[in-house]
Amino acid sequence: MNLKKALIPMFLLTLLLTFSGCASQEEPQSTAQPSVLPSPSASPTSQPGGMIDEMLPDMTDGPMEGVDDALTPAASEQPAAQGVTTVSDARKAIDDIEDELERLSEVDDAQVVIAGKDAAVALEFDSQYQGGVDDRLREIIRERIAGVISGVENIAITTDQTLMEQLEALGDRLEGAADMADIQSELNAIIKKIDSSVA
């Protein structure tokens, strides 16, 4: 018993000294060479006067060697294309969005076509769902689409069976399409039909 009473304080003292020694031990600082660390809010190329550009020419000079890179736009600063611009992007986004929408308890089947910043969604509801396309469902659909692809601004939603068949046919045509222009014009025509049926 006495041994336990003696070992416990010694153990605690050892732990205390170990942790306090780690906390007070600092890394040695070198004063011979200044270090340049990028801050989280600024990139090395945004330093005033191009100082980093002059110090590290091979790392920051692009095709315009000798020019302050802070004055030239980086590739990541170029505006990104919004919505769907290629057929392959459209196919993938459509498949992913249809899967997302069909996971909703209210939806039995979904047909989606996207081109550019426009999307048309046709829904077939589950037989037990008695509601329609209300504001809540519209917001859910908008969120699901935004979760798959950004930049889609105009979303038309319908439950009309004829328009659903037209969207399905347009989606099938998209599989063999090489250009989005024809798909976009047909999609716009379907969106106009959906919008006129809602108004």
Is residue 140 in a domain? yes
Q: Which two tokens stand for residue 194?
A: 């959906």
CATH number of the domain that residue 165 is part of: 3.30.70.1350
The tokens for 57 are 């020419």
Question: Considering its fold, how many domains does the chain have in total?
Answer: 1
> Within a domain: residue 157?
yes
Among 119, 132, 189, residue whose Cα is nearest residue 160: 132
* Residue 22 pLDDT: 57
Q: Where are the alpha helices (DSSP H) in the chain?
A: 2-24, 51-55, 57-60, 87-102, 135-148, 161-176, 180-198
The mean pLDDT values, 10 residues at a time, for the chain of 199 residues are 74 74 54 46 45 47 48 43 81 95 94 95 93 92 94 95 95 84 91 86
* Sign, Cα dihedral of 101, 98, 93, 153: negative
Is residue 104 one of the residues assigned to a domain? yes
Give me the pLDDT at residue 33, please.
47
pTM of full prediction above 0.85: no
* Domain range enclosing 169: 87-198
